[in-house]
Amino acid sequence: MNSLYSLRALLTALAPLVGAEAALGNRAVSEGWAKDAKKEKITEWSTKGAAIVDEELRTIFQREYETEYNEKMRRVSLLLGSANLRNSSATRA
């Protein structure tokens, strides 16, 4: 779950940039883009940026987490299956 917290921290850090770029019509900001911005404007950009990215971030995280979880469970099943086969062979002998 640490990766989810890391992604949230990254979103929080990048949200003002994403919001500012969205306000420019999805164009890149120029150097010093936030230099003269008031706190209220940065908060506005942050809110907008987080809203733009949050759902997609959550969807991607859930999909990747599920894929990783399923792979780990497959490996555990294979290991347990091998152990059960060895144990049943030993008891027959």
pTM of this prediction? 0.67
Mean pLDDT of 31-42: 95
- Alpha-carbon distances of 20 from 36, 52, 68, rounded to whole Å: 13, 11, 34
Residue 39, pLDDT score: 96
Displacement of CA 3 from its chain's centroid (Å) = 7
Residue 46, pLDDT score: 97
Answer whether 47's CB lies under 8 Å from 19's CB: yes
Mean pLDDT of 19-47: 96
Number of domains in the chain: 1
Give the pLDDT confidence of 38-93 residue by residue, as tens digits.
999 999 999 999 999 998 888 998 998 999 999 999 988 888 876 666 666 655 55
Identify the domain containing residue 19 by its residue range: 2-27+34-92
